[in-house]
Amino acid sequence: MPENSTLDEAMTPAAAVAKLHAAGIHVSERPLRERARALGACRVIGKALFLLPADIETTLEAAKPKPRGRYEVSHYEPQPAPIKRWTDADSEKLRERLVNLNKQKNKAARKTRAK
């Protein structure tokens, strides 16, 4: 086997977390495993998951935030409600509602006068 084989570079997520902690990057094993699996930046044999240095680099690169444009709105800021334009159908519905309301008032007024 060559001296610097892939097997020598392979490490468990716990070992990768220890290396990251030594570099001042505090992350726990579970999120590292989840992120690596989601990115496909790991090796899995049976139930064993292990990482290569290239997998850790890929995971760290994927953690880099996406740049935002100068005027781009963040997802966390409230979005303005979409503007709904008033249509002829809306005008017709309003007119019908007002006519019916007026009819009801007139009917009620006639009843009180008849008594």
The string of pLDDT tens digits covering residues 64-81 is 888 776 666 556 666 677
CB of 33 within 8 A of CB of 59? no
Q: Residue with structure tokens 């007024």?
A: 109
Q: What is the pLDDT of residue 93?
A: 93
Q: Where are the domains of the chain?
A: 6-62
The CA-atom distances, in angstroms, between 49 and each of 29, 56, 75, 111 are 12, 13, 34, 83
Q: Over pLDDT 90: what percentage of the chain?
A: 56
The string of pLDDT tens digits covering residues 31-57 is 999 999 999 999 999 999 999 999 999
> How does the average pLDDT of the chain come out, rounded?
86
